[in-house]
Structures are given as structure tokens and as C-alpha cells.
Amino acid sequence: MKKNSFLAPFSHQLALLGLLQVSSLELQLERDRASLQDELRSRELEAQAADKNLQEMTQHNKQLSKSNSHLTSEMLKCRAELVSKESELEHLRSQAAIKTEQITGLEQNLQDMKSQIISKTAMVEDLEEKLRRCEEEQLSSMQEAQVLKGQLRFMQGELADNLGQLQELKDVLQRTQTISDQRQAQVDKLSVRLR
């Protein structure tokens, strides 16, 4: 019983620890996802700003034809920057997709882990209940055995008394039979004389 009472809180603490670890992993995954989404939005805003800047430079180029060479250089620079930003944005989108897939896999693993923890906790509780019942049945059987032993000793005592009484009855019967045989012999003798 002491062993059972020791295992019960320990198994529950293990289950609780497992669930806390799962919850911690879920929170970390949510933070990573939020951080990745914030970075993606920031990159998109930068790309939009670069595109807007390119449009403004193009308009400015039309108005200032004298600085065409300089504006063309700036435009090419902005276009190159835009291409670079778009490439970086595409790379981030690809990474985001990979991360999302990884997060989905991890979430599935977490759900599987939760199910395993719940299942194992139920199994542990079931085993503990079976152990408790076995210990109770064992205690009950020991108590019944003690009662049966007491009854057996009582019955053995009564049997010994009965055997003593039986022997006494046998002795009385034997004496009675002897007396009866003697009297019958006397009767037989008298019968012979009377003839």
C-alpha cells in the first residue's frame, strides 16, 4: 500500500511535467511564427517603399530631362534594389513556407505527444487501481484465512471431543454387549435346565 501511495503522485507529476513541456513548446512555436510573420510584413513594406521610390524617381526623370543621366543611374540603382528586395522577399516567403510546414509537423508531434501522455497516464492509473484492488484482495484473503484457521482449530477441537465421546460410547456399548452376552448365556442355561 505504501508503494502504491508513493507511485500515484509520482506518475501524476510526470504527466503534469510532460503537459507543461508541451505547453511551453506550443508557446515558443507561436512566438516564432509571430516573429516570422512580423519580419515578412516588414520586408513587404520595404519592397513596397522601394517600388514607390522607383515610381517617384521615374516621374522625376520625366520632369528633369537635363539630369537624365543621373536619374537613369538612380533608377537603375532603385530597380536593382527592388530586384534584390523582391529576391529577398521571395526567399523569406520560401523560408516562411518551410517554417510553417515545420510548425505544422511539430504541432502534430505535440498532439501525438499529448495523446501518448494522456494514454499512458490512463494506463498508469488503471495499473495503480488494479494494484490497489490486488492488495485489498490479498488483505481480505489473509483475513479470511485467519478466520478459516480459527474455524478449523475449533472444528478440530470439536472433532477430538466427538472422538472421545465416540470412544466412550464404544466402551459403554462393549460393556453392555458383554453384559448382554452373559445374560443371554444365563438364559440359555436356564432354558436347558427347564427342558
10-residue mean pLDDT profile of the chain (195 residues): values are 50 69 78 80 80 76 64 80 83 81 82 86 89 89 87 86 84 82 75 64
- For residue 9, what pLDDT is reported? 58
Grid cell 537603375 in the structure block, residue: 76
- For residue 191, what pLDDT is reported? 67
CA distances from 3 to 16, 70, 125, 132, 172 (A): 20, 86, 14, 10, 63
Whole-angstrom Cα distance, residue 101 to residue 107? 10
- For residue 61, what pLDDT is reported? 58
Q: Cell for 96?
A: 516562411
